[in-house]
Amino acid sequence: MLKLSAQVQSAINQRKPIVALESTIISHGLPRPSNLQVAQEVEEIVRENGATPATIAVLDGVVHVGLDANQLDQIANTDGVLKASIRDLAIVQSQKQNAATTVSATAHIAKLAGIKVFATGGLGGVHRGQNYDESADLIALSNTPIIVVCAGVKSILDVGATLERLETFAIPVLGYMTNKFPGFYLTDSGFTLDNQVQTAEQIAKIYSARKDLKTDNTAIVVANPAPNQMDVSLHNKLLNDGLAASTKAGIVGKAVTPFLLEYFHSNSGGESLRINIEIIKSNSKLAAQIAQAIN
Ligand code: PSU
Ligand code: MN
């Protein structure tokens, strides 16, 4: 059912640390041609930090765990690659489609493959002012035992509501060297976290204590702030204008997040791209360190 790359299969056989990587960020989160380059660099960063990268995507209906150079290129550069959350997986598989996987779908497949750590950019969450537009990422993380390293959630979302949902779903949120919940482009979303960790080893301890207490049925979110945040006034302007543009264009459903991400990329003079790239690199490095610490 899953097609493991040779490298991922060998890491599993030798019980070596593995980091799952999401593909929607490649197909729908970053513009061409940077998307392919970033996807390759991120895999390299995982390797340099002692783990095996496993980028997850669906190609011609086959669920891949670990992509070769050609397959990464397909996700980055083929037109019409779908965005698959958990509910779409069986459909894209049966219909032999190409699909990038969101956080929810990637976490689920990583679990099937026995992978315990996952790096992404930002999580989906509760959208502002939209009753019931709540990312499937949240519910997936509520029943998937995996460590997800992210830079919090973007301020395109209702950050406070998203944190409340994470609490309801019993998903721990650990600030990495911070007690501020990061807002992706900004290192501080304005919300304080209850729990802060300083090292990958501390995360590993929490990971194993959850097993003992049998509270390990949910994900652990590790919130790792961007190395250098966006200028705050630029950020606020893009946010207001982007939300207004999305409403005006009548964007709904799974198109909302890609629309807003693209709005930021097109209107920030390269700033949002720079930060996005720094974030995914920094998260992948930390994820590799965590994968080693829990191994
Ligand atoms: N947020 C980001 N960057 C992203 C995404 C979210 O800052 O690339 C992508 C992820 O794949 C996430 C998905 O799982 O969007 C959430 O989409 P939705 O809001 O439609 O659930
Ligand atoms: Mn949605």
Domains of the chain listed by start with CATH number: 1-115 (3.40.1790.10), 120-295 (3.40.1790.10)
pLDDT score recorded for residue 130? 80
- pLDDT tens-digit profile of 233-282? 999 999 999 999 999 999 999 999 999 999 999 999 999 999 999 999 99
CA of 197 to the centre of ligand 1 (A): 25
Determine whether 154 is an active site residue.
yes
pLDDT score recorded for residue 131? 86
Contacts with 25 (C-beta within 8 Å, 6 or more apart), sequence order = 120, 121, 276, 280
Provide the phi-psi class of 4: left if phi over 0, else alpha when psi is between -120 and 50, else beta: beta
Percent of the chain with pLDDT over 70: 100
pLDDT score recorded for residue 160? 97
Quick one: which H or E segment has residue 232? Answer: helix 232-248
Q: Is 135 in the pocket of ligand 1 (CB under 6 A)?
A: yes
Predicted model pTM: 0.97
Residue 295 is classified by DSSP as: -
pLDDT score recorded for residue 129? 87
User: Is the pLDDT confidence value at 77 over 90?
Assistant: yes
- pLDDT tens-digit profile of 90-130? 999 999 999 999 999 999 999 999 999 999 999 999 999 88
Average pLDDT estimate for 152-156: 94
Determine whether 48 is an active site residue.
no
Q: Is 103 in the pocket of ligand 1 (CB under 6 A)?
A: yes
Residue nearest to atom 21 of ligand 1 (CA): 135
User: Is the pLDDT confidence value at 168 over 90?
Assistant: yes
Average pLDDT estimate for 126-137: 93
CB of 104 closer than 8 Å to CB of 115: no
Percent of the chain with pLDDT over 90: 98
Average pLDDT estimate for 165-170: 98
What's at 62, amino acid-wise?
V
Task: Give CB contacts under 8 A, 24+ apart, made by 232-235.
Answer: 232/186, 234/268, 234/271, 235/155, 235/185, 235/186
- pLDDT tens-digit profile of 10-31? 999 999 999 999 999 999 999 9
- pLDDT tens-digit profile of 197-228? 999 999 999 999 999 999 999 999 999 999 99
Residue 121 is classified by DSSP as: S
Q: Is 52 in the pocket of ligand 1 (CB under 6 A)?
A: no
CA of 124 to the centre of ligand 2 (A): 8
CA of 132 to the centre of ligand 2 (A): 8
HEC per residue, 243-290: HHHHHHCCCCHHHHHHHHHHHHHHHCCCHHHHHHHHHHHHHHHHHHHH
Between residues 131 and 51, which one has the greater pLDDT? 51
